[in-house]
């Protein structure tokens, strides 16, 4: 079962590590996100090892999964973090992250985001506009500090991925053109609150070929060579973003960090300078180490199909509805005897609330449970209260124990902070 790290059948029952998922679901109810943190750490170690020939820092993209125990486990293992908001910054600091390993990214950082980043003393801001540079410089100067920034280059490189998650082409809102970077570098002296420490790019997500990284790096090096003479200190950090594609289904491929490291080494081969290389993997560390456990609410046969209506919906896992993403689905109890084709759907009032069409599963009944696979990335972190459905519970398996990471929202939680009219 290659699409699930740390999940396997034992005696016909799906386990997460050593634990029967049915037992955890029985105790916590469903929908339930379940993550195997040992598997996440294994992925992190593989990622780190793949780039070990560079002076390298892993900056986990918190947006993929911001569960507190997961952040703690990664922080403990020495991983750095890429945060996209002051909320994510707050989470990683709560998880015990070292501020010197935190980068703040994002195309629209607010004043409050930047102020929080400066107050925490984070390592880097990846900046995406001249306006943001001026604001960071002004706020840093007021605080009497100099903020290290990486300018995010838009290298205009195409990637074969879903258009919603492609970010490195000129038409996208992300990053700065080579000309804009040139102009910013030439004004660096007028931005006393910041220092340009290097360049960054992020091409997109779920990329399955290493070639775009090589292309992006070539463009980046050209821009670096262009701006270096204009700067007081030579920039020495290169950040190639995240985007390493994972295997969502067994028949699909994945992009291994070693493949990316190899093409980067080839491009950098003839250069004499030494740079610190930063990678920002999100999905590739966590996607396959998480499942969404759900119970069957109803089975509804119709003329030409059989609907399996789950208690998890698009509010819990938006990816199929938003990107037409396919996720494998496994019954918690394996049974090959009565396989049937199901249209697996959620309870939300939208036809896009569909997990899979004509999907083979054993005969299932009300109360039986399934696991939606590869839900560890952009699952819980993109969930919502649509249809006024409480957020799912989350649990983790870590070093031979399981642990509740987040209680299921109660109906009171759902309405917290709302104010009825004083009628």
Exactly one of 16, 79, 133, 349 is catalytic; name it. 349
- Between 283 and 369, whose beta carbon lies closer to ligand LLP? 283
CB of 330 to ligand LLP, least distance (A): 20
- In whole angstroms, the minimum distance from the beta carbon of 144 to ligand LLP comes to 29
Strand partners, 244: 207
- Residues forming a β-bridge with 369: 295
Give, in order, the Cα–Cα distances in Å from 284 to each of 139, 244, 248, 289. 35, 6, 11, 9
Other residues' Cβ atoms within 10 Å of the Cβ of residue 30: 24
Tell me how far apart the alpha carbons of residues 225 and 199 are, in angstroms, rounded to a whole number: 11
Alpha-helical runs (H) found in 121-248: 130-143, 178-186, 211-227
Cβ closest to ligand LLP, residue 217 vs residue 361: 217
**What residues form DSSP beta bridges with 57?**
278
Our CB check for ligand LLP shows the closer of 310 and 375 to be 375
Is 17 or 320 the residue whose CB approaches ligand LLP more closely?
320
Give the separation between CA 113 and CA 125, rounded to whole angstroms: 10
Identify the burial level of 373 via C-beta atoms within 10 angstroms of its C-beta, where 0-12 means exposed, 13-18 middle and 19 or more buried. Answer: buried
DSSP code for 217: H
Pairing of strands 55-61, 276-279: parallel
Give the nearer residue to ligand LLP in terms of CB position, either 139 or 255: 255
Minimum Å gap between C-beta 162 and ligand LLP is 7
- The residues that touch ligand LLP, with contacts defined as CB under 6 A, are 61, 63-64, 82, 105, 165, 202, 205-206, 241-244, 280-284, 319, 323, 378, 382
Shortest distance, position 407 Cβ to ligand LLP, whole Å: 24
- Least distance to ligand LLP, CB of residue 254, Å: 12
Tokens found for residue 348: 């939300």
Whether 349 is catalytic is yes
Strand arrangement, sheet containing 7-10: 7-10, 13-16, 19-20
Task: Using the CB atoms, write b or e for 240-264: b if 16+ within 10 Å.
Answer: bbbbbbbbbeeeeebbbbebbbebb
Residues 215/216/217/221 CA torsion (nearest 10 deg): 110
Distances (CA, A) of 141 to 5, 31, 230, 235: 46, 48, 21, 20
Closest distance to ligand LLP from the beta carbon of 63 (Å):
6
Establish how many alpha carbons lie within 13 A of residue 142's alpha carbon, considering only the half-sphere containing its beta carbon. 11
Nearer to ligand LLP among residue 166 and residue 295 (C-beta): 166
From the CB of 393, what's the least distance to ligand LLP, in Å?
A: 21
| Closer residue to ligand LLP, CB minimum distance, 91 or 319 | 319
Active-site residue set: 349
């Amino acid at each position: 079962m290659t699409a699930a790290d740390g999940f396997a059948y034992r005696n016909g029952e799906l386990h997460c590590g050593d634990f029967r998922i049915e037992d955890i679901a029985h105790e916590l109810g469903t929908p339930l996100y379940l993550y195997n943190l040992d598997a996440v750490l294994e992925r992190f170690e593989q990622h780190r090892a793949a780039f070990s020939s560079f002076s390298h820092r892993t900056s986990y993209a918190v947006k993929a999964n911001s569960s507190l125990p997961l952040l703690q486990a990664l922080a403990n293992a020495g991983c750095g973090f890429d945060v996209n908001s002051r909320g994510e910054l707050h989470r990683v600091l709560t998880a015990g992250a070292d501020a010197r390993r935190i980068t703040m990214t994002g195309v629209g950082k607010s004043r409050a985001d930047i102020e929080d980043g400066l107050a925490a003393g984070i390592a880097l801001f990846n900046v995406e506009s001249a306006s943001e540079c001026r604001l960071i410089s002004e706020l840093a100067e007021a605080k009497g500090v100099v903020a290290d920034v990486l300018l995010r280059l838009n290298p205009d490189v195409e990637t074969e991925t879903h258009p919603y998650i492609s970010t490195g082409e000129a038409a996208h809102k992300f990053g700065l053109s080579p000309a804009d970077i040139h102009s910013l570098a030439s004004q660096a002296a007028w931005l006393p609150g910041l220092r340009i420490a290097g360049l960054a790019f992020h091409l997109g997500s779920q990329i399955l070929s290493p070639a775009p990284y090589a292309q992006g790096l070539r463009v980046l090096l050209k821009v670096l060579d262009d701006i270096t003479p204009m700067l007081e200190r030579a920039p020495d950090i290169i950040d190639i973003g995240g985007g390493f594609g994972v295997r969502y289904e067994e028949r699909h491929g994945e992009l291994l960090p070693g493949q990316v490291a190899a093409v980067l080494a080839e491009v950098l081969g003839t250069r004499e300078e030494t740079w610190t290389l930063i990678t920002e993997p999100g999905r590739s560390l966590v996607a396959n180490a998480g499942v969404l456990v759900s119970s069957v609410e109803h089975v509804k046969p119709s003329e030409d199909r059989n609907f399996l209506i789950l208690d998890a919906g698009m509010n819990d896992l938006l990816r199929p509805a938003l990107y037409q993403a396919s996720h494998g689905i496994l019954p918690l109890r394996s049974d090959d005897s009565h396989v049937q084709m199901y249209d697996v759907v959620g309870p939300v009032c939208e036809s896009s609330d569909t997990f899979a069409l004509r999907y083979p599963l054993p005969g299932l009944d009300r109360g039986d449970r399934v696991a939606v696979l590869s839900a560890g990335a952009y699952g819980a972190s993109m969930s919502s209260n649509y249809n006024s459905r409480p957020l799912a519970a989350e649990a983790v398996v870590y070093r031979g124990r399981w642990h509740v990471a987040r209680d299921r929202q109660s109906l009171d939680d759902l309405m917290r902070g709302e104010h009825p009219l004083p009628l």
